[in-house]
Amino acid sequence: MNADKIFEAIVEAERKGQPVVLATVVRARGSVPRHEGAKMLVYPDGSIWGSIGGGEMESWVIGEALAALREGRPRYVNYTLVNPAEGDPGVCGGEVELFVEPLLAAPTLLVVGAGHVGRAVAFLGKWLGFRIVIYDDRPDYVTADAVPSADVRLTGPLATALKDIAITPDTYIAAVTRSYPMDVELLRLVLDSPAAYIGLIGSRRRVQEVFKVLRSEGVPEDKLMRLHAPIGLELHAETPEEIAVSILGEIIMLRRGGSGKAMKMMNGT
C-alpha cells in the first residue's frame, strides 16, 4: 500500500477526532510476508487500513495495538512466524519486529455559538491544542473567514448538526449562545452524553431559567449538577478574550486536576 494513503487516513482520523494505532514493521528476518516499512492502521473497533502480512500475525498485532491504545503508550512487539496452519508463511522461523504507536486524538472543544465570545473561545482553544468544533444556526457566523481556527464548522438545526459529532469522555462543551431557548435545546441533547465538561454562559438569572425549564421536563438534579453554569472561573472578565480565558481556565483546571486557587506563596512558605 502506498504510504501516502496511510498518512491520508491518519489525517482523516485526526479530523474526525478518532484515535488510531500505527503498526510499522521495523525489522524482518527470514521468510516473512512484509518487510521493513510496511504499515497498518488499527482503529478502536479493531478494523484496519493497510496490512502487515495477514494471517495469525496480523490478528495478533491488532490485539497488541488495541492494548497499546488502552494504555496510551507505544510498544515494540516481536512475532515469530512458525505455523502454516495459522497463515504463517512457513516453519523456517521468520521473525518480525513491529513498532506499535497509538496516535491519540486531540481533545474536542465543542463551541455552541459563534458570536464574539464563541470566536474567542475557538481561537484560544485551538492555541491550547484542542480540536475545535463550532456551531451556529447562522451560516455566516461559521465560515472559514469568520472562524479560521475551527476544524469543523456546523450550522443548520442543532439536533441535526450534532448527529455528525461523536461526543466522548474527551469532549468539552462550551455553550456560549445568544439565547436561553437554544441553551435548553442543547442541554436536552447533551446532558446524557459522556462529555467531560458542559459549560453554560449567562447571568445567574438566565441559568436559573434554563434549570427551571429542564426541571419542569423531569430532568433529575444529578444531571443538572453536571453543568458548569455560569461558565468559567471568576476573573471579573469583561471582553470576549477575557471571558475565553475564564472558560478555558476552568476546562484546563478540570482536565488537569487543578484547584483553581492562586499559587502565590503565603507567608514565605
Q: Which of 103, 118, 146 is the last residue of a domain?
A: 103
pLDDT at 89: 45
Lowest mean per-residue pLDDT among 28-37, 40-49, 85-94, 101-110: 85-94
Is residue 186 over pLDDT 80? yes
Lowest mean per-residue pLDDT among 19-23, 93-97, 100-104, 237-241: 93-97
* Separation CA 181–CA 178 (nearest Å): 9
Q: Residues 90, 81: contact at Cβ < 8 Å?
A: yes
pLDDT at 91: 45
What pLDDT digit, counting tens, does each position of 151-171 carry?
999 999 999 999 988 898 999
Give residue for cell 496480523.
58
| CATH code where residue 139 lies | 3.40.50.720
Residue 269 lies in a domain: no
pLDDT at 58: 85
State mean pLDDT over 56-60: 85
Asked if 21 and 93 sit in the same domain, the reply is: yes
Rg (CA), the chain: 24
Asked if 51 and 68 sit in the same domain, the reply is: yes
Grid cell of 92 as nine digits: 523456517
pTM summary value: 0.79
What pLDDT digit, counting tens, does each position of 75-130 carry?
999 988 765 554 444 444 578 889 999 998 899 999 999 999 999 999 999 999 99
Q: How many domains does the chain have?
A: 2
Q: What percent of the chain has pLDDT over 90?
A: 69
User: Which residues touch 109 (CB under 8 Å, ≥6 apart)?
Assistant: 121, 122, 125, 130, 131, 132, 133, 171, 172, 174, 251
Q: Can the peptide bond before residue 230 be classed as cis, meaning omega within 30 degrees of 0?
A: yes
| Residue 18: domain span | 3-103
The backbone torsions φ and ψ at residue 239, rounded to the nearest 5 degrees and listed phi first, read: -80, 160
Is residue 238 over pLDDT 50? yes
Instruction: Spell out the alpha helix ranges (H) of the chain.
Output: 3-16, 55-71, 116-127, 158-162, 180-190, 204-216, 221-224, 240-256
pLDDT at 16: 82
Give residue for cell 488537569.
256
* Separation CA 36–CA 39 (nearest Å): 9
